[in-house]
Amino acid sequence: MKLTVLGGAAAGGNPGQGCSGYLVEHGATRIVLDLGPGTLPELRRHADFRTLSAVVVSHLHLDHTLDLGALRFALAYNPVKPPGRIPLWLPPGGLAWLGRFAAAFGEPGKEADFFPSVFDPSEYDPDAGLTVGAVRVAFRPTVHYVPCWAMRVSAGDGGRDLGYTADTGPSADLAPFFSGVGVLIAEGNAADPGPEPWDERGHLTFAEAGDLARAAGAETLVLTHLWEERGIGAARDAAAAAFGGRVEVARPGMSLGG
Ligand SMILES: [Zn+2]
């Protein structure tokens, strides 16, 4: 399984770096996990956006979804031949949200077809998981400000799985879910936890991202969801001190595995 980071910034883009988006490839299967602002241009450097196996969305925050709109237009003006629609897997409640997105940007009277003209949108059942081509995606609820699901992607070929926290606070206790993954993409939002109660926090500190990677036994931590203003180097150092293993900082075009 090959991972290519498409962004890696937090809720607003960093200079030259979009938000959350990850391309996972295994053979002919190419799935994108989240597609935040500024990630479509990077995706286009690595894969033909017209032939993706699926897009899977962790939660409905803008920094994980906005380029679905841009991809919609890219597909509409550059259709696949023969025509086909790309499976778009949304979390529960996602279809109603997609309707609101279309109402904001679709032409009046044509909103209903805005996304379905190029995507095949569905809501996944987090308990059942997904099979997309040659890979399986399992979900686990996180603790965030809206419903959000972490993902574990398995290729079933004896290689190690890939984990993705999406957005989560520390009380989600995701270490068992990610046990034994090869690569863990974990968010680290700040050095300090801030004033929220521990069990209500919706993000990890840098050190907590490292703690999670250590507890899960991950081989490599990809630290993501970073604000440049909070110090990328300091974020890496804090996560590495807590993890004790290999830490990579997410940046556009960075790839691992494959
Ligand atoms: Zn979020």
What integer pLDDT is reported at residue 156 of this predicted model? 83
In the reported structure, the alpha carbon of residue 62 is separated from the centroid of ligand 1 by a whole-number distance in angstroms of 8
What integer pLDDT is reported at residue 80 of this predicted model? 77
In the reported structure, the alpha carbon of residue 231 is separated from the centroid of ligand 1 by a whole-number distance in angstroms of 20
In the reported structure, the alpha carbon of residue 54 is separated from the centroid of ligand 1 by a whole-number distance in angstroms of 21
Cβ atoms within 10 A of the Cβ of 25, count? Answer: 23
In the reported structure, the alpha carbon of residue 166 is separated from the centroid of ligand 1 by a whole-number distance in angstroms of 8
In the reported structure, the alpha carbon of residue 77 is separated from the centroid of ligand 1 by a whole-number distance in angstroms of 30
What integer pLDDT is reported at residue 157 of this predicted model? 86
Helix, strand or coil, per DSSP, at residue 99: helix
Burial class of 82 by CB neighbour count within 10 A (0 to 12, 13 to 18, 19+): exposed
Length in residues, the chain: 258
In the reported structure, the alpha carbon of residue 60 is separated from the centroid of ligand 1 by a whole-number distance in angstroms of 7
In the reported structure, the alpha carbon of residue 145 is separated from the centroid of ligand 1 by a whole-number distance in angstroms of 7
Please list, in sequence order, all residues whose beta carbon lies within 8 angstroms of the beta carbon of residue 127, skipping any fewer than 6 positions away: 139
What integer pLDDT is reported at residue 84 of this predicted model? 85
Q: Supply 21's token pair.
A: 């988006």
Helix then strand count (H, E) for the chain reads 5, 14
What integer pLDDT is reported at residue 124 of this predicted model? 98
In the reported structure, the alpha carbon of residue 138 is separated from the centroid of ligand 1 by a whole-number distance in angstroms of 19
From first to last of the 258 residues of the chain, give the pLDDT tens digit.
Answer: 999 999 999 999 999 999 999 999 999 999 999 999 999 999 999 999 999 999 999 999 999 999 999 999 999 999 877 778 999 999 999 999 999 999 999 999 999 999 999 999 999 999 999 999 999 999 999 999 999 999 999 998 889 999 999 999 999 999 999 999 999 999 999 999 999 999 999 999 999 999 999 999 999 999 999 999 999 999 999 999 999 999 999 999 999 997
Place of tokens 């969801």: 225
- Rounded CA-CA distance 258/17 in Å is 23
Cβ atoms within 10 A of the Cβ of 18, count? Answer: 26
- Rounded CA-CA distance 144/62 in Å is 14
Superfamily of domain 2-257: Ribonuclease Z/Hydroxyacylglutathione hydrolase-like (3.60.15.10)
pLDDT digits (tens, 9 = 90+) for 48-67: 999 999 999 999 999 999 99
In the reported structure, the alpha carbon of residue 202 is separated from the centroid of ligand 1 by a whole-number distance in angstroms of 8
In the reported structure, the alpha carbon of residue 206 is separated from the centroid of ligand 1 by a whole-number distance in angstroms of 16
In the reported structure, the alpha carbon of residue 50 is separated from the centroid of ligand 1 by a whole-number distance in angstroms of 27
Q: Would you kindly state where each structural domain of the chain is located, as residue ranges?
A: 2-257
- Rounded CA-CA distance 188/99 in Å is 31
In the reported structure, the alpha carbon of residue 252 is separated from the centroid of ligand 1 by a whole-number distance in angstroms of 19
What integer pLDDT is reported at residue 139 of this predicted model? 98
In the reported structure, the alpha carbon of residue 20 is separated from the centroid of ligand 1 by a whole-number distance in angstroms of 9
Question: Phi and psi (nearest 5°) for 231?
Answer: 90, 100
Q: Helices 67-77 and 94-105 sit at what angle, rounded to 10 degrees?
A: 70
Q: What single DSSP character describes residue 227?
A: -
